[in-house]
C-alpha cells in the first residue's frame, strides 16, 4: 500500500487524466470522501473536464436505464398479480351492482333526487365496462339509451359515431346531436376518440344505482 502522501499524489495524477472520484477511490482503495477532500482544489484542464463530464453523462444514462428496467419489472409483477386476482373474481349480480354503482359515483352525474343516469367518459374501456355491469345488474330497455358525443373539430363525426356505437352496443340511431368543442389551437391528441355521455332514461334504475353506492360507502367508510 502506498503512503498517504504518495496516495494523494497518485490521486491527483489520475484526476488530471480525467478519472472520476469513484474510479480513483476504487483504484487506490480509499473512500470516496477522502478522494474528494484531496482533490477539491485541483485545477483541471479543459480536456480532463470534458472526459469527466462525459463519464458523468454516461453514468446518468446508465442509472436512468437501470431505473427504467427496474420499473418495468415491478410493473410486470403487478400486472401478473392483478391478472391472477381478477381471474378468481366471480361477478354475481350483487357484486356487479356494487362495482357499477361505485363507477357511477365516481364518473356519473348527480342530480336532485337521483333522477337521472348520465355517465360520461373519454376512455372507451371504462365506458364499455360500466355498460356491461349496468346491463348485468338491471333489466334494461335498450331503447331508453341515448349517447351524446363531445368531439373536437379534427374528429370525423360519422367515424366516431360508429366507433362509439360499437363500444357501447347502442345503435347510431339513438345518438343525440353531437356537441362540437370550440377550437383551442392545441395540437390533436392521437388516439383520442372524444368523450361519450351515456344517458339512460329510467328514474327507477338511476335511483337504485346511486342508492347502492351510497349504502356501500356508508358501510365501508369511517
Tally helices (H) and strands (E) across the chain: 8, 4
Cell triple for 220: 365501508
Number of structural domains found in the chain: 2
pLDDT at 2 over 70: no
HSE-up of residue 119 (Cα within 13 Å, Cβ side) = 26
Question: Are 215 and 161 contained in the same domain?
Answer: yes
Closest residue by Cα to residue 201 from 161, 143, 132, 149: 143
Sheet holding 145-151, edge to edge: 117-121, 195-200, 145-151, 179-180
Question: Are 78 and 98 contained in the same domain?
Answer: no
pLDDT at 136 over 70: yes
DSSP code per residue over 21-80: HHHHHHHHT--HHHHHHHHTTPPPPHHHHHHHHHHHHHHHHHHHHHHHHHHHHHHHHHHH
Cell triple for 158: 360519422
Question: Are 79 and 106 contained in the same domain?
Answer: no
User: Is residue 129 a part of any domain in this protein?
Assistant: yes
The C-alpha atoms of residue 177 and residue 34 are separated, in whole angstroms, by 74
pLDDT at 185 over 70: no
Contact assessment for residue 131 and residue 168, using Cβ atoms and an 8 Å cutoff = yes
Higher pLDDT, 21 or 169: 169
What are the CA-CA distances from residue 159 to residues 138, 153, 156, 194, 220 (Å)? 30, 13, 5, 11, 43
Give the CATH number of the domain where residue 129 resides: 3.30.1330
The C-alpha atoms of residue 155 and residue 118 are separated, in whole angstroms, by 23
Residue range 64-97, pLDDT digits in tens: 999 999 999 999 999 999 999 999 888 888 999 9
Residue range 52-67, pLDDT digits in tens: 888 888 888 989 999 9
Residue range 143-167, pLDDT digits in tens: 999 999 999 888 899 999 999 999 9
CA 72-75-77 angle, to 5 degrees, is 110
Question: Are 37 and 112 contained in the same domain?
Answer: no
Cell triple for 173: 340511431
The band of 184, judged by pLDDT with boundaries at 50, 70 and 90, is: low
Phi/psi for 140 (5° steps) reads -115, 155
User: Is residue 15 a part of any domain in this protein?
Assistant: yes
Domain that holds residue 118: 93-220
Q: Which of 42, 64, 83 is the last residue of a domain?
A: 83
Amino acid at each position: 500500500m502506498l503512503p498517504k502522501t504518495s496516495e494523494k499524489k497518485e490521486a491527483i495524477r489520475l484526476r488530471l487524466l480525467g478519472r472520476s472520484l469513484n474510479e480513483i477511490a476504487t483504484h487506490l482503495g480509499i473512500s470516496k470522501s477522502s478522494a474528494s477532500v484531496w482533490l477539491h482544489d485541483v485545477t483541471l484542464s479543459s480536456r480532463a473536464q470534458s472526459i469527466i463530464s462525459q463519464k458523468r453523462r454516461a453514468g446518468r444514462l446508465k442509472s436512468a436505464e437501470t431505473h427504467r428496467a427496474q420499473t418495468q419489472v415491478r410493473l410486470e409483477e403487478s400486472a401478473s398479480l392483478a391478472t391472477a386476482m381478477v381471474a378468481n373474481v366471480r361477478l354475481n349480480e350483487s357484486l356487479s351492482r356494487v362495482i357499477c354503482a361505485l363507477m357511477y359515483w365516481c364518473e356519473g352525474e348527480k342530480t336532485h333526487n337521483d333522477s337521472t343516469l348520465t355517465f360520461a367518459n373519454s376512455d372507451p374501456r371504462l365506458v364499455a365496462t360500466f355498460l356491461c355491469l349496468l346491463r348485468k345488474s338491471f333489466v334494461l330497455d335498450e331503447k331508453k339509451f341515448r349517447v351524446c358525443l363531445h368531439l373536437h373539430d379534427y374528429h370525423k363525426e360519422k367515424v366516431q359515431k360508429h366507433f362509439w356505437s360499437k363500444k357501447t352496443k347502442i345503435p347510431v340511431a339513438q345518438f343525440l346531436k353531437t356537441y362540437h368543442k370550440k377550437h383551442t389551437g392545441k395540437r390533436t391528441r392521437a388516439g383520442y376518440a372524444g368523450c361519450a355521455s351515456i344517458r339512460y332514461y329510467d328514474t327507477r334504475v338511476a335511483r337504485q344505482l346511486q342508492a347502492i353506492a351510497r349504502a356501500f360507502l356508508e358501510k365501508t367508510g369511517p
